[in-house]
Amino acid sequence: MGLSNVRICFVGDSFVNGTGDSKCLGWTGRICNAAIEQGHDITYYNLGIRGETSTDISGRWFEEVARRLPESCDRKILFSFGVNDTTIENGKPRVELSQTKENTQKILSIAKSLFSVLMVSPPPIVEVEQNSRVGILSQELAIICQQLNVPYLDVFTPLEKSEVWLKEVAANDSYHPNAGGYLELANLVQKWDAWQGWFS
């Protein structure tokens, strides 16, 4: 029998939203579906918004989460963002690396004082130069999470070697996979000790 009344908010960008998935599940829907099939009683909120940066998320996450996670329940948040920060606009990244780090530090510090918190890295994309910025960002986010004692899952490294992920992203819009790619990402999160630990 699972814990009763676990509520989970997934906060992030289009990858959290599951953009590109013809099944409309993304990775978040798949891992929650699996948890429910294992007998856990969970309420699942997808708060992924396409195109959002860490700055956008920093401005909205608390109000959105607070409405959905009353004190009477087991309150959990999984964050994942970063790719949009690294997109070049007018000759520079939408959000400079130092600012992304500052945003992440602030978001996670507040969140972990009130909720159970996990973070999943941004995934790889096809465009080579931007992808190298995403890879650097992922490593920086890992350091912040380590300092704050927030479990962090690097999906960037394994997905960079995933034929399914890369093929689907290339065939789609150079950013988002279809169902097969999201299944690969879901499997990585599914096997993660910290995710499993939320239900043990």
Average pLDDT value for residue range 50-54: 98
C-beta of residue 168 within 8 angstroms of C-beta of residue 121? no
Would you state the pLDDT for residue 1?
Answer: 39
Residue 41: how many other CB atoms lie within 10 Å:
14
Q: What are phi and psi of 39, to 5 degrees?
A: 95, 10
Would you state the pLDDT for residue 200?
Answer: 79
Percent with pLDDT over 70 in the chain: 98
68-126 pLDDT, tens digit per residue, is 999 999 999 999 999 999 999 999 999 999 999 999 999 999 999 999 999 999 999 99
Would you state the pLDDT for residue 2?
Answer: 43
Structure tokens at 43: 């309420």
Distance CA 55, CA 164 (A): 31
The amino acid at 131: N
Give, as one character, the DSSP assignment of residue 90.
Answer: T
117-162 pLDDT, tens digit per residue, is 999 999 999 999 999 999 999 999 999 999 999 999 999 999 999 9
C-beta of residue 143 within 8 angstroms of C-beta of residue 104? no
27: nearest Cα among 171, 167, 153, 170 = 153
Distance CA 71, CA 182 (A): 32
Supply the pTM of this predicted model: 0.97
Distance CA 79, CA 47 (A): 10
Give, as one character, the DSSP assignment of residue 44.
Answer: E
**β-strand partners of 9:** 45, 77
